[in-house]
Structure 1
Amino acid sequence: MPSAKDEHDSSYRRNIWNVFKLNNWILGLIGIWPVTIRGIGRHAYKIAIAVCNFTFSFALVPCALHIIYDQKDIIIRLKIGGLLIFGFAAMIKYCILAIRRPKIHRCIEYMKSDWWQVTFKSDRKVMLKFAAISRNLTMIGASFMYTAGIIYYLILIPFFFEHKVNNQTVRPLVFPIYSKFHQFQISPIYEIVYAAHCMCGYIIYSVTSGTYGLAALFATHACGQIEIIVSRLEDLLSGESWKQSSKIHQRIAAIVKDHVRVVRFTIVVEEVLQEVCLVEFISSICTICLLEYACIVDWQQDNKFGLATYSLFLVSFCFNLYILCYIGELLMEKSSHIGYICYMINWYQLSPKSTRSLILIIAIGSHPIKISAGGMVDLSLLTFGSVLKTSMAYLSFLRTLVM
C-alpha cells in the first residue's frame, strides 16, 4: 500500500507534467524552455539558439533586401512588409527570451515549489483550475497560429504564388529573396531554401505562441496563489482552512508571507515579459493594420483563398493579443481583491494589535499587480481596445495613401 509521501510525490509529478507540458512542447525545441539534462546534453539549448538565430537571418535579411531593391509594386510591398515585421518582431522576442532564460527557470522553480508545498485539496483544486485556464488559452492560441501558418506555407505559397517570367516558371518561396541570389531556383537549392523558410516559420510561430503561453502560465499561477490567499483571509476568524492549533497572529503572518511570495514571483515575471510585451505591443499595431489591408485587397481582387488565409492570421493575432491583455486584466483584478476582502471580513472582532496587521495587506492590495509593456503601458482589456483602434486609424491612413 503506497504511503502518503508516495501519493504526494505521484500527485506532484502528475500535476507538474500537466501544467508545463504545452509550454515544454512549444518552447523546448527552440531552446528556450529550461530542460534538466546531464552531461554534454546540457549544452543542447545553446546549439538550438544558434541554429534558430541563423535561420532567422537566412530568411529575413534577403527578404528585406528584396523589398528595398527589387519590389516596386506598393501593394505587394505592404503584404510582404507585414510578414517581415512579424518575422523581425519574433526574432527580437526570441533573443529577449534567450537572454531571460535564467529568469524563466527561476519562475518555473517558484511554481514547482508552490505545487510541492500544497497540502489542502481545496488549494490544489484552485491551482488546477487556473492551470486549466492557462492550458486552454495556450492551446487555442497555438492552434490558430499553427493552422494559419500551415495553410500559408504549404498551400497558399506553392499553389497560388507561382508565376512565369520570360516563359520560365518561377517557383515561389515563403520569404522572397533578393534578385542577386538568383541560384535559388535550381534544384536542390530551391528545396533546401524552401525547407529553411518553413523551419523559420515554425520558429516564428513557436516564439509567438510560446510568448503568450509563458505569460498565461505565470500570470494564471499568480492568480491561483492570490485566490488561495483570499480564501485564507475569508477563513481568518473561523480557522476552517487552517490547522486548528494556529493562532490569529500566526494565520496573519502566514498570509503576509504568502502574499510577499506572490509579489516577488510577479516581479520576476515582469522582468521576463516586459520587453517581450513591448515588442509585441508595437509590432501588433503594424501587423494587424497590414493584415486588415491585405484582407481588403484580396476582397477587392476576389481572391477567396488569400482572403481566408489572411483573415485566419488576423483572427489569430487578435486572439493572441487578447490573451495577453486578458491575463493582465485578470491579474490586476485578482490582486486588488485582496485589499477588498481584508476590509470585508469581520476584522472588528480581532484584537487591535491583530487589526493593525491587516493595514499593510490593505495598503499593498491597493496597488494591484500588473504586467506592463516595457513599463510604459499596462496590459489590460483597455489596452487591447486601444491597439485595435490604433490599427484601424493606421489602416484608414494607409488606404487614403495607397488606394
Structure 2
Amino acid sequence: MSSMRNEKDPNYQQDIQYIFKLNNWILGSIGLWPVSFQGIGRHAPRIAIALGNFALSFAMVPCALHIVYDEKDIIMRLKLCGLLAFCLTAMTKYCILVIRRPKILRCIEYVKHDWWQVTFRSDRELMLKYATIGRNLTIIGASFMYTAGIIYYGILIPFFSETKINNQTIRPLVYPTYNEFYQFQISPIYEIVYVAHCMCGYTIYSITAGACGLAALFVTHACGQIQVIMSRLKILLNDENSNIHQRIAIIVKDHVRIVRFSAVVEEVLQEVCLVEFTSSVCTICLLEYYCIVDWKDDNKLSLATYFLLFISFCFNIYILCYIGELLMEKSIEIGSMCYMINWYQLSPRSVRSLVLIIAMSSHPIKLSAGRMADLSLTTFGNVLKTSVAYLSFLRTLVM
C-alpha cells in the first residue's frame, strides 16, 4: 500500500471541479449554490433567488385567475391545473432549498474535505467511480428536463399555438393570463411577458434537475466513501506489522463520519423529496392523461412534448429512488464485509470493534420523503402504480 501513497493528491482541484461543475452551473444560476464572489458580487445569489421567485409568481397569479374566471373547457382546465401545480411545486422546493442553503454548504464542505484527505490512488479511483455515476445521473436527468422545456417553450408555444378570434390573431403565452389584461397582446409588452415566462420555465426546470442532481452528488459520494471503507476491511489482516487496533479505529471513525454526513443529507433532502413524491404522483397521472388526449386528437408535437416530460418526471423520481436503494445496499454491505474477513484471527478487543460496525449496518442508512416513505425501487414502483390508479379514476370522471 505504501507504494500507492501520494504525499497529497495533485488532482484535487481537477476532481473537485469535475464533480461539482454541473451542479454549480444548474444551482448557481438560480442562486442556490454557494459562491465566493467579493464585493457587490456576493449579493448575486440573493438577486438570483429574488428574480426566480418573481418570475414564478408573475406566471402563476395571472394563470390562476385565468383558470378560475375565464377557462370553461374541462380538459384545458386540467392541462392548466397541471401546469400551475408544477409551478407551485417548484416554488415550494425552491423555498425549501433556500432555507437549507447553510446545510447544503456544510455537505459541500464534507465532500471537499473527503477529497482533500485522499492519500491512495485506489481510494481516488473508487471515489471517482461513484462520482461519475452521480454526474451521469445528473446529466441524463437535466438533459430530459431541459430538452422537454426547450421544445415546449421554444417550438410548441410560439409556432403552433396561435388562435384567431373575430379575425384577430391571438399570440399565445406559455402561461395563459386573465382576460382583463388585454395589454399583454401589445408589443413590446407581449415580448417582455413571454421572456418572463421563459425565465419562469428555466427556474422550474433548474430547480427540478438541480434537486435531483444535488441528491445524486451527495449520495454517490457517501457510497464512494463506504466502498473505500470496504476496501480497507478487505486488506485489514494483510499487513502483519501494522497496528490492527489503530487501523480498525480509523475505519470506525470514517464510518461514523459517513453516518453523520448522511444524516445531514437526509435533513437537506427530506422535505424536497416529500414534495417531489406527493406532486409527482399527480403530475405523472396528468401527463399520462394529456398523452392519451393528444393521441386521440392526433396532436403529434404536443404528444411528443408531454411524453418527453412524462419520461423526465419518471426518471427524476427513479434517480431519487435508485440512489436511496444504492445507499441502503452499500451501508448493509459494510456489515457483511466485517463478517467475511478472517475476523477469528483478531484479538477479542479488535473483534468487539467489528461487532459495533455490524450492529450499525443492521440499521442501514436511508433517505426518506419527509420520513414518511423510504426512497427505494419499491417506492418507485408504488408511485407508478398509484399514478395509473389515479389515471383510471380521472378518465372515468372526465370521459
Report SS of the residue matched to 2:11.
helix
Q: Answer yes or no: is the 8 Å Cα contact 2:6–2:119 preserved in 1.
A: no
Distance 1:126 1:30 in 2: 32
Distance 1:318-1:337 versus aligned 2 partners, 3 A rule: same
**Per-residue CA distance 1:165-207 (angstroms, 9 max, x = gap):** 1221111100111112221011100000000000100010000
> Which residue of the partner structure matches residue 26 of structure 1?
26
> Which residue of the partner structure matches residue 275 of structure 1?
271
Report SS of the residue matched to 1:237.
coil
Distance 1:8-1:249 versus aligned 2 partners, 3 A rule: closer
> Which residue of the partner structure matches residue 119 of structure 1?
119
Q: CA deviation at 1:219?
A: 0.2
> Which residue of the partner structure matches residue 43 of structure 2?
43
- TM norm structure 2: 0.97
In percent, how many aligned pairs have the same letter?
74
RMSD over equivalenced CA pairs, Å: 1.4
Report SS of the residue matched to 1:34.
coil
> Which residue of the partner structure matches residue 320 of structure 1?
316
**Per-residue CA distance 1:74-114 (angstroms, 9 max, x = gap):** 10111111111111111110111111011000000000000
Distance 1:139-1:309 versus aligned 2 partners, 3 A rule: same
> Which residue of the partner structure matches residue 203 of structure 2?
203
1:358 aligns with 2:354: yes
Aligned runs of 1:282-321 on 2, under 5 Å? Answer: 282-321=278-317
Report SS of the residue matched to 1:394.
helix
Matching residue's letter, 1:340: S
1:84 aligns with 2:84: yes
Q: Answer yes or no: is the 8 Å Cα contact 2:290–2:306 preserved in 1.
A: yes
Q: Answer yes or no: is the 8 Å Cα contact 2:229–2:255 preserved in 1.
A: yes
Matching residue's letter, 1:384: F
**Per-residue CA distance 1:110-130 (angstroms, 9 max, x = gap):** 000000000000000001101
Q: CA deviation at 1:327?
A: 0.4
> Which residue of the partner structure matches residue 331 of structure 2?
335
Moved more, 73-82 or 289-298: 73-82
Distance 1:9-1:238 versus aligned 2 partners, 3 A rule: closer
> Which residue of the partner structure matches residue 374 of structure 2?
378
Report SS of the residue matched to 2:371.
coil
> Structure 1 segments of 4 or more deviating over 3 A?
5-10
Report SS of the residue matched to 1:377.
coil
**Per-residue CA distance 1:14-71 (angstroms, 9 max, x = gap):** 0000010000010111100011112221121111111111111001111111111111
Distance 2:17 2:175 in 1: 37
Report SS of the residue matched to 1:372.
coil
Distance 2:241 2:196 in 1: 64
Matching residue's letter, 1:256: V
Number of residue pairs matched?
A: 395
Aligned runs of 1:134-153 on 2, under 5 Å? Answer: 134-153=134-153
Matching residue's letter, 2:316: N
Distance 2:249 2:9 in 1: 28
Distance 1:121 1:365 in 2: 27
> Which residue of the partner structure matches residue 261 of structure 1?
257
Distance 1:8 1:189 in 2: 58
Q: CA deviation at 1:8?
A: 4.0
- 5+ unaligned residues in a row in structure 2: which ranges? none
Distance 1:269 1:356 in 2: 29
Distance 1:222-1:6 versus aligned 2 partners, 3 A rule: closer
- 5+ unaligned residues in a row in structure 1: which ranges? none
Q: Answer yes or no: is the 8 Å Cα contact 2:56–2:200 preserved in 1.
A: yes
**Per-residue CA distance 1:297-354 (angstroms, 9 max, x = gap):** 0000011111111111111111111111100000000011111111111111111111
- TM norm structure 1: 0.96
Q: Answer yes or no: is the 8 Å Cα contact 2:123–2:228 preserved in 1.
A: yes
1:131 aligns with 2:131: yes
Q: Answer yes or no: is the 8 Å Cα contact 2:12–2:115 preserved in 1.
A: yes
